[in-house]
Structures are given as C-alpha cells and as structure tokens.
C-alpha cells in the first residue's frame, strides 16, 4: 500500500473552513509536496466531486510545510527508466494525468485560489498559474527550473504563458531562475503579495468575498472568461454577448438587479 494515501497520512487534506469554501491542502511536506501519482489522483478526484456541488462556491488550494510544490515527483518518475521502453509509456501517462488535473482546475465551475507560501517550482509553478487567482506570502518564490537539469518545462509553459507576458515567461523558462513574490505579482502570476505566513488567511478572505456572489453567475463568468480567451476579438464579443443575454434571463440576475434598485441584499438561488 502507498503510505501517502493511508488514513494517517493522506496526500491531500480536505476541509470546509467556512460555508461555501472548500480548502484543499497538498500534504506531502517531506517530499516538498511533489506531484506524485497519488497526490494528482487525490486532487483530481476531489475536484470532480466539488464540480457538482452547489454548496461549494470557491476552492482554496494550499500546501503543508515550507514548500508549496516542487513539481513532479522526479524520484517516482526516474524509477521507471528501468522499464523496457525506458519509461516512455509511464512518462506519457503521468504527464497526461498532470495536464488533465490542471485543466480540471480551469474547467471547474467554481473559482480556485492558490495560497502560496515558500517555493513553487516547475509543475508546482504550473499549478499556481492554472488557478484562477493566487495570493503569495512575501517570501514565496517561483521558477521553471527544468533547463538546469536538461528538461525544458514544456507543460508548465502552457499555463505560465497564458498568465505571464511573453518575455517574462520566456525569461523564466530559459534561465530557470527564481522569481520573488513581488516580481511574480508584477508579472501577473499572482494577484497580490501579503506578509509571510498570511497567504492562506488572505486567500480565505478573498474566497469569502467571492462566495457571497451568485454561484450561477460565478460559473457562467468563469466559463465564459476562458472560452473567449481562445477566440479572435469579433468572435469573443459575439460569444460574450450571447452569454450575457442568457445570464440576464437567469433568476439570479433578475434578483440581483432588483435588489440593487431596491437597495437590499440579494437572495441568491443559483438559477
């Protein structure tokens, strides 16, 4: 049995610290929260369950210990070089699993906020970039260091290049050097920087603000945001206009506008 998935030491901790908020905590601190098969499976399974829950409006992703995530579990991967195909089939499977997990975050109806303390490297940096929002402690650092070991961070590049301006992304990918929290905010990799040790509290505060909104509106808006990003300008406007028409016809939009006009708090029903 894989000990990291036993009852005593789960790879992922799942809590609901407040109404409407799910907190997922990477829990492999001794392994620098590297993304093992078990951890990726646990995150993916939990996200699949959350996707259909009406009572969860926001997800916060944090990590136990001093490192947010060191990326892929290279020890786990290197062990498969002894396979007859030198690990080709296994590497293909693991990278596919990781890519699917990242896409689950993007496609999840609920917004996902990363609370980052310590270092987020390679696929760990990819994980931060895949989240909709991110808060970093002042001592947090980020990098895509694959070039140092002869392995370009090609899959982390996908999420990174969709969050960070091109030249900043290329600098991170080509140099492999660390980026501090302030530069990560300047680049757009994280939304804000808070005092060291305060990232989770700040992320929960942000989640609390978002969770007070209509869950239907959040779902519609997140989906439309990522859809229009992949379109040309004219197609994006056509798509966004169609989305807004449907949104206007939703009960929550009718209620929200009515509440605004009547100067009262809205009563969201998620429909």
Kindly report the CATH number assigned to the domain that includes residue 245. Answer: 1.10.12.10
pLDDT tens for the 271 residues of the chain, in order: 344 444 568 999 999 999 999 999 999 999 999 999 999 999 999 999 999 999 999 999 999 999 999 999 989 988 989 999 998 999 999 999 999 999 999 999 999 999 999 999 999 999 999 999 999 999 999 999 999 999 999 999 999 999 999 999 999 999 999 999 999 999 999 999 999 999 999 999 999 999 999 999 999 999 999 999 999 999 999 999 999 999 989 999 888 988 899 999 999 988 8
Would you give the distance in Å from CA 28 to the centre of its chain? 17
- Look-up of token digits 């997140």: 222
Same domain, yes or no, for 178 and 199?
Answer: yes
- 120 within some domain: yes
Same domain, yes or no, for 245 and 157?
Answer: no
Model confidence, pTM: 0.93
- 80 within some domain: yes
- List helix spans (H) across 131-232: 154-161, 166-175, 181-187, 199-211, 215-229
Measured CA to CA, the distance from residue 161 to residue 180 in angstroms comes to 18
Same domain, yes or no, for 124 and 242?
Answer: no
Radius of gyration of the chain (CA): 20
- 3 within some domain: no
Measured CA to CA, the distance from residue 251 to residue 271 in angstroms comes to 6
- Look-up of token digits 């060291």: 196
Query: How many domains is the chain partitioned into structurally?
Result: 2
Same domain, yes or no, for 46 and 155?
Answer: yes
Same domain, yes or no, for 231 and 184?
Answer: no
Domain that holds residue 234: 215-262
- 86 within some domain: yes
- 1 within some domain: no
């Amino acid at each position: 049995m894989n000990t990291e998935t036993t009852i005593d030491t789960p790879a992922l901790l799942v809590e609901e610290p407040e109404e409407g908020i799910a907190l997922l905590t990477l829990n492999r601190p001794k392994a620098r929260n590297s993304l093992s098969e078990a951890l990726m499976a646990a995150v993916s399974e939990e996200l699949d369950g959350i996707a259909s829950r009406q009572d969860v409006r926001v997800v916060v992703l944090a990590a136990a210990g001093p490192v947010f995530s060191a990326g892929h579990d290279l020890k786990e991967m290197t062990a498969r070089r002894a396979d007859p195909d030198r690990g080709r089939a296994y590497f293909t499977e693991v990278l596919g699993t990781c890519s699917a997990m990242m896409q689950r975050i993007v496609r999840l109806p609920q917004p996902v906020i990363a609370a980052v303390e310590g270092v987020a490297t390679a696929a760990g940096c990819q994980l931060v970039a895949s989240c909709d929002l991110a808060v970093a402690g002042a001592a947090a650092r980020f990098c895509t260091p694959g070039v140092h070991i002869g392995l370009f961070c090609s899959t982390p590049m996908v999420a990174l290049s969709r969050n960070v301006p091109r030249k900043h992304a290329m600098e991170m990918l080509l140099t492999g050097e660390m980026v501090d929290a302030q530069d990560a905010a300047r680049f757009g990799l994280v939304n804000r920087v808070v005092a060291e040790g305060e990232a989770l509290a700040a992320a929960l505060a942000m989640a609390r603000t978002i969770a007070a909104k209509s869950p239907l509106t959040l779902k519609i808006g997140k989906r439309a945001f990522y859809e229009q990003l992949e379109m040309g300008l004219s197609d994006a406007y056509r798509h966004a206009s169609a989305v807004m028409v449907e949104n206007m016809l939703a009960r929550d939009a009718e209620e929200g506008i009515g509440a605004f006009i009547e100067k009262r708090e809205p009563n969201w029903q998620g429909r």
